[in-house]
Amino acid sequence: MPIAKLNIPLPSKGVVVDRPGEFIDSRSAANNENLRFNLAVIDSRPGTSELGSTLSERVQRIFELELGSTTHLIRVGTTKVEQYNKATDVWADIANAALTGAGQDQVDFAFPLLSGSKIVTFTNGIDNIRKYTGAGNDADLGGSPPVAKYMVAFGGHLVLAHITNFPFRVQWSDTGLPETWAGGNSGSVDLLEDPEDITAISVYGNFITVHKRNSIYVGQLVTTSAVFRFDRKATGIGAIGPKAIQNIVTGDQVFMAADGIHIFNGITAPLIPSTIQEEIRDGLNPTHAGKADSIIKEEVDEVWFAVPIGSQTEPETVYKFNYRTNQIYKDSRPNLTTMGLYLNTVEDTWDDVVGTWDAQTDRWNSIQLLANNPVVAFGFSDGVTTRDGIGSDDNGVAVTAQFETKDFTAQDYGIVNFGTFMRWESIQLWAKGTDVTVQYSTDSGIGWNTIDSFSLSSDYPADDAPFIGYFDVVSTKIRFRFRKTGLAQTFAIKKYYIEALSREERR
């Protein structure tokens, strides 16, 4: 048989971890880290740059209060509360008194109206609920509301859930009066149809959802004196924490549960159809699962879920779920504690670029870089806060980005017996950026051998002049890895070919 060239379609079917590598579709990945998958191109993700100075303690939550054209980006730590000045790149203390929370005490927030003006309220489940109006320091919310772990603003009410000593209770303020907790139509209800504690509360269209470990309650306003009515949905599952829920444009609610990512349609909550679910179910650290966080990236149709996997005690593994394609890819964010979105009120300029021009991974006119676009902010256990940047490194630290293919066999070349030995001879690659290292493994990713490290340019090579890596190995299977580990390195790959020659069958 002459040398055969295998044209590999680039990934469109996500990471597959529920079967041996030789049974994975060639459009899927056996593993990946810190990549993007746009327009059928493998692309190393952008880096991050620091926002102001460190909080000097764990960042528990990041959120933004928008008041007309004015925005207030706030970060909450275990004891501190600070506001960011986007013009001066400085954080200022706005706490009227120190908080007393710990790392496990998650922060939740809501945006109710007070005297006709939007404010932000937030809680750590330990201290009195705080409010911030956009001026001066924060303050305790008036009216002596109960201490609660979770909150939403809904239908003119500030609604609290998991009240101290009553972890099954939902309680709400008077209409339009978040500082009135007795009288009017304020009230409460105990959700006792099942014994578990409430784990989260969220707005869901014209309803609110209250999550427990094995069920979801759907609440709606009613015209009777009850004010709210809650119906229990026997979903068999609920969100693992207050930050692990997002509403998507399909009208569904996506959430992270103990066994993976689910979609709630108001009645049922099935797992999304992705093979990555087994990795989440088998790897999620139950002791720290409540720290799970999430954001929605509407411009790329993705929900990002950050969770602690294996021995991780922080939500360092980020699963990026594309709700249009149902595919999932992964990022690694060491020491990550929380994610949030804030309005990029100033358009990035040439001087804001971190690193060389060739090291950039976004188009210059990308929405990610334009003013009035939501930008992702990350908080970390060491107090550092960063934003999605236009460089290739994470706040000066090199990012390891890699894509790991399936195990290719003789069957991929049309030979029936995949136990047939193949003589693998070269790989042709069309890539751009700064650098990429190409490796191969004949034992399903246990050991790796380097074929070559290529210095790339800002444009893809011509169709008749690809980068070529030569090697010579005989085996029944082989997988490849495209990787970068150094500072200021990037790569994007649009296609690759594998050349091989069939040999004898395994006896």
Q: Is 310 exposed, middle or buried (0-12, 13-18, 19+ CB in 10 A)?
A: exposed
427 and 389 inside one domain: no
User: 487 with 409, same domain?
Assistant: yes
What is the mean predicted confidence (pLDDT) over 123-142? 98
Lowest-pLDDT range of 4-8, 314-318, 431-435, 472-476: 4-8
Q: Output the pLDDT for position 198.
A: 98
The predicted-structure confidence for 154-195, as pLDDT tens digits, reads as follows 999 999 999 999 999 999 999 999 999 999 999 999 999 998
Is the pLDDT at 249 greater than 80? The verdict is yes
Query: Which of 141, 166, 201 is at the close of a domain?
Result: 141
Task: Of 199, 208, 283, give the one whose Cα is nearest residue 243.
Answer: 199
Given pLDDT bands bounded at 50, 70 and 90, which one contains residue 506? confident
Same domain, 377 and 441: no
Mean local confidence (pLDDT), 101-128: 97
Report the pLDDT value the prediction gives residue 368, as an integer from 0 to 100: 53
pLDDT over 80 (residue 307): yes
Is 405 a domain residue? yes
Residue 129 predicted with pLDDT over 60:
yes
Give the percent of the chain with pLDDT over 70: 93
Q: What is the pLDDT of residue 263?
A: 97
Q: What is the pTM of this model?
A: 0.91
DSSP state, residue 482: E
Q: Give 261's contacts (C-beta < 8 A, 6+ positions apart).
A: 254, 255, 271, 272, 274, 277, 280, 305, 319, 321, 328
Q: By the 8 A CB rule, do 240 and 233 touch? A: no
Among 380, 395, 410, where does a domain finish?
395
Instruction: Say which residue, 355 or 218, is predicted with more confidence.
Output: 218
Q: Are 409 and 477 in contact (CB under 8 A)?
A: yes
Confidence of residue 2 (pLDDT cuts 50, 70, 90): low
pLDDT higher than threshold 90 for residue 22: no
Mean pLDDT check: name the lowest of 52-61, 71-80, 318-327, 435-444: 318-327
DSSP label at 357? G
| pLDDT recorded at residue 275 | 80
Question: Does residue 457 register a pLDDT over 60?
Answer: yes
Domain-located, residue 48: no
What is the mean pLDDT of the segment spanning 453-468? Answer: 96
Q: Tell me if 160 sits within 8 A of 184, measured CB to CB.
A: no
Residue 391 has pLDDT above 90, yes or no: no
125 within domain boundaries: yes
What's the pLDDT score for residue 373? 78
Domain boundary among 395, 414, 447: 395
In this structure, of 249-253, 371-375, 438-442, 492-496, the range with the lowest mean pLDDT score is 371-375
- Asked if residue 386 is part of any domain, the answer here is yes
Spatial distance between the Cα atoms of 342 and 457, rounded to a whole number of angstroms? 33
pLDDT value, residue 364: 47
> Could you tell me if 458 and 483 lie in one domain?
yes
Question: Do residues 487 and 398 touch, judged by C-beta distance below 8 A?
Answer: yes
What one-character-per-residue DSSP string does 201-268 give? Answer: EEEETTEEEEEESS-EEEEEE-SSTT-EEEEEE--S---SSTTSEEE-TTS-EEEEETTEEEEE-SS-
Q: What is the mean pLDDT of residues 77-89?
A: 96
Indicate whether 351 belongs to any domain: yes
Please indicate, yes or no, whether residues 120 and 93 belong to a single structural domain of this protein.
yes
CA distance 213 to 194: 10
pLDDT value at residue 29:
83
CATH code, domain with 482: 2.60.120
Residue 247 counted as domain residue: yes
Same-domain check for residues 153 and 137: no
Q: Are residues 447 and 304 in the same domain?
A: no
Domain co-membership, 152 together with 232: yes
Domain carrying residue 431: 4-34+401-505
pLDDT of amino acid 347 = 53
Say yes or no: 75 and 176 in one domain: no
Among 132-146, 439-453, 491-505, which is the least confidently predicted range?
Answer: 491-505
Mean per-residue pLDDT of the chain? 91
Domains: count for the chain? 4
Q: What pLDDT is stored for residue 38 in this prediction?
A: 73
Q: Is residue 225 part of a domain?
A: yes
In a domain, 43, yes or no: no
Asked if the model's pLDDT at residue 224 lies above 50, the reply is yes
